[in-house]
Amino acid sequence: MTALTVVMAQVNPLVGDVEGNTSLVIEKVEQAKALYNADVVLFPELVLTGYPPEDLLLRPSLTTRINSALDRMKLELPRDVYAVVGLPLTEQGHLYNSAVVLYAGAELAHYHKQKLPNFQVFDEKRYFTPGKRKATVLDIEGISFGLTICEDVWHPEPVLRAVEAGAQCILNLNASPFHLNKSEERYQLIEKQCREHDVGLLYVNQVGGQDELVFDGASMAIDSLGNKVAQGPFYEEALIPLTVKAEHDSLEISGELHEGVTHHESAYQALVTGVRDYVNKNRFKGVVLGLSGGIDSALTLAVAVDALGPERVEAVMMPFKYTSQMSLHDAEAEANTLGVRYSVIPIEQPYNSFMTMLESEFEGTQRDTTEENLQARCRGVLLMAISNKKGYLVLTTGNKSEMAVGYSTLYGDMAGGFDVLKDVPKTLVYELSRYRNTLSEVIPDRVITRPPSAELAPDQKDEDSLPPYDVLDEILRLYIEEDVSADGIVAKGFNKDEVYRVVRLVDLNEYKRRQAPIGIRITQRGFGKDRRYPITSGWHIGE
């Protein structure tokens, strides 16, 4: 019987840092050898560039940097370990999304990704040529391993070709971004492939945040019966050792099964990971946010503290005459509970100064949302000033429901660098707030239970101008994530006037979303890479 130790290296590369990522690969192979006496170490897709590298792949120095990285790995990697590394390779003028196998200072084999995703957040056909329809199978100490990359296993052909070429176990390199329920989707897909083709599969995934994307790790090993025999941790870097045994036609894979995560735990950890990596990878000293006493800013504050620690978080309450005593009290309580720096800067003085300057311009007009927006813009100016002075990133606090219908102010509450809740519907904001309080109570209960309000006018409530959030969020989900038409949503039993009004607001506010800060994607379609609608359009609502 042949037995190998295969280690899946679930790592968090920095996009564009080819030299640093090469050092990471070398370091992890050395660790895997020292800790587990690894025979094979498997890395994620495009680990040398990080994922997604986007138009860095078009830079003229790409090939030079990758070749230098390959030369360095051949010299510095332990010579008795097989390293399977994801990287972009140029051959005969074509760029491929590839995997190479390095051993004893030489490149033993390489494989080019055959199925290039070009949907949602993926844009690989912009950069890569698909690999030819052939398998790469490598014999390592008597066990045959077939190479595949990410999207390849979502289609039957690449796995089938590898099995027909003699593969007993598929090595699958991934940079698979998170969205809600994604881990289960991956397992169901891989389980089906393994059973149908009678083959084991080792699935290694990247971890960490990259701009709006979060990678949850959760690397796994599946045997030929479709059983999950090993599971790596979620949202953590890890070396995941596996034992792969082969005797005649029989293959056995074993390893440790880490606990899974719940729906809410997974969403919350995605937000924490996204904030931590965006702030740290972009080298901000810390973050600052406006703390209103409402639920959105309360949840944002909790995420920021869990991501960075209280010493790197500042919260600012900026009250106006419409701000309730309840909001003042709750904001202070949240800040004190979480131990962050907290200050109160009233905005009445700058607001009045602006109104005085605009007096002649506003003469003969009635009060409307202009005055409400001016309050938000005063707050935005203050937060950006603190950001400039202290080197802090401004976190905005708008949720997906508000971003969808334009319930936000350009250069006001939208002023900032990163929107933590940008892809979190309001109903999920409530659920995540309750979930966070199960860990330790940091959000006062009445912040969760009282009717939400922007407090920009007397006795203002969100539902004065919007449908109830449970109704609104389902309409938005159908329209934005499922691409159901307005009339199709009405046919599902929703009020036609409400549906048409919501859909019209979504379409009208594309111009705002184009100017909004980026935020963490946790649904199957967020307001970012995977939703590209024109601002100027004659599209009719019912279509």
Confirm whether 422 is a catalytic residue. no
Q: DSSP states of 263-287 as a string? A: HHHHHHHHHHHHHHHHHHHTT-SEE
Q: How many Cβ atoms are within 10 Å of 281's Cβ, its own excluded?
A: 17
246 in Cβ contact with 143 (< 8 Å): yes
- How much of the chain is helix, strand and coil, in % rounded to 5? 40, 20, 35
- Rounded Cα gap, residues 47 and 88, in angstroms: 9
Of the residues 28, 33, 113, 422, which is catalytic?
113
Nearest Cα residue to 392 out of 507, 282, 505:
282
Binding residues for ATP: 290-297, 397
Do β-strands 518-519 and 418-419 pair in parallel, antiparallel, or remain unpaired? parallel
- Rounded Cα gap, residues 112 and 133, in angstroms: 10
Binding residues for L-glutamine: 176, 182
In a 10 Å sphere around its CB, with 0-12 CB exposed, 13-18 middle and 19+ buried, how is residue 260 labelled? middle
Q: In whole angstroms, how far apart are CA 247 and each of 153, 254, 450, 510?
A: 25, 15, 64, 59
What's the residue count for the chain? 543
Q: DSSP states of 27-64 as a string? A: HHHHHHHHHH--SEEE--TTTTT-S--GGGGG-TTHHH
In a 10 Å sphere around its CB, with 0-12 CB exposed, 13-18 middle and 19+ buried, how is residue 414 labelled? buried
Six-digit token string for 103 = 């051993």
Confirm whether 400 is a catalytic residue. no
Q: Which amino acid is located at 162 in the chain?
A: A
8-state DSSP, 522 = -
346 in Cβ contact with 378 (< 8 Å): no
In a 10 Å sphere around its CB, with 0-12 CB exposed, 13-18 middle and 19+ buried, how is residue 337 labelled? middle
Binding residues: 176, 182, 290-297, 373, 397, 402, 512
Count CA atoms within 13 Å of residue 515 on its CB side. Answer: 13
Binding residues for deamido-NAD(+): 373, 402, 512
Confirm whether 150 is a catalytic residue. yes
Of the residues 28, 115, 124, 150, which is catalytic?
150
Of the residues 28, 33, 45, 372, which is catalytic?
45
| Residue 434, Ramachandran bin (φ over 0: left; ψ between -120 and 50: alpha; else beta) | alpha
Six-digit token string for 258 = 């880490």
Indicate which residues carry an active-site annotation: 45, 113, 150
